[in-house]
Amino acid sequence: MSANAPLLDLRKVSKRFTTSPDLIERMAAKFGFAAAAQTVHAVDQVSFSIAAGEVIGLVGESGCGKSTLGRVIAGLHKATEGEVLFKGQPLRYSPGVRPAIQMIFQDPFASLNPRKRVGDAIVEAPIAHGLIAASQAKEQAAQLLEQVGLDASYVRRFPHQFSGGQRARIGIARALAVQPTLLVCDEAVAALDVSIQAQVLNLFMDLRERLSLTYLFISHDLGVVRHIADRVVVMYLGRVVEIGQTTELHEHPNHPYTQALLAEVPRLDRRNIDYTPIKGEIPSPLSPPTGCHFHPRCPHAKPVCAEQAPLLRELSNGHWSACHLNS
């Protein structure tokens, strides 16, 4: 592998979910009333790469496919099409091999077994992968807890004995247990109060420096992403609409959707503003609009937008946007 190859390379990754026909539909099919299977294009031909040590913010509203993409990268879903290359090799998960990508979920309480002591939950993965012996487990768990800023004596506690912020830290400790290279953080701070969110974001930045981690930071909160990410990827209805350096993208958003998204973010320095929202809501991914997915809501839509899907084009160094207005 060459030195400047990206850590993670997504090549036209698509993920589709198809409904399987239920009993009534199968019976109807027998009588010749076949209902078409419904397909959700959750992720549609997404390509971008992540360099080692980089923090990528993946931004979009609910239903845009950002979580599905995160799950495809973490190996929880198989891509329907396209390739996910890690250090130039296709991702393969097999027992005994240290998983290089780990995921942190929004609700750590839902991902922790309520009947398992957190110490056991944290070292479950490394033991299963044969990375540490069971005899080292206790020591390892205590060490991981200290790494995320919790007291080592907490190993014997149960998940319900922790506050939201502490649970978020446990979720991080559990992901770190297998010494991953890339962390996929899916709305990892969304459920936390502002003051606790600041603590956890600081922890993320400390860990990145200490363990030279790479993050894919999935969030709907542009403020958080602006703070932590080096580059931002904006998704809308399964497609990437814009990629750029964080400051460049925030200061000169190109795609009308990114512009709208940034304009709607409530900010402390804007007082008694007159809201001028964009119209409509995200359409259903079951029947996405033709052409550019954003055209029904776009204030600048032209006839071509309804016919052809725009391709990502490089505007300036590293700033890509998929919009017909640029051509």
Q: Looking at 213, 224, 298, 312, which residue binds another protein (CB under 8 A)?
A: 224
Site for another protein in 225-254 (CB under 8 A): 226-228, 246-247
Q: Does 90 bind another protein (CB under 8 A)?
A: no
Residue 216 contacts another protein per CB under 8 A? no
Residue 27 near another protein by CB under 8 A: no
- Distance separating alpha carbons of residues 55 and 33, to the nearest angstrom: 50
CB 254 within 8 A of CB 318: no
Contacts of 271 (CB under 8 A, 6+ apart): none
Q: How many residues bind another protein (CB under 8 A)?
A: 44
Does 209 participate in binding another protein (rule CB under 8 A)? no
What whole-number distance in Å separates Cα of residue 103 and Cα of residue 87? 18
Residues 150-189 that bind another protein (CB under 8 A): 163-165
- Nearest to another protein of 20, 195 (CB atom): 195
- Of 127 and 262, the one with the shorter C-beta distance to another protein is 262
Residue 223 binds another protein, judged by CB under 8 A: yes
Does the protein bind another protein through residue 4 (CB under 8 A)? Answer: no
275 near another protein (CB under 8 A): yes
Contact residues: another protein, CB under 8 A: 61-62, 163-165, 193-199, 201-202, 205, 220, 222-224, 226-228, 246-247, 260-261, 263-278, 281-282
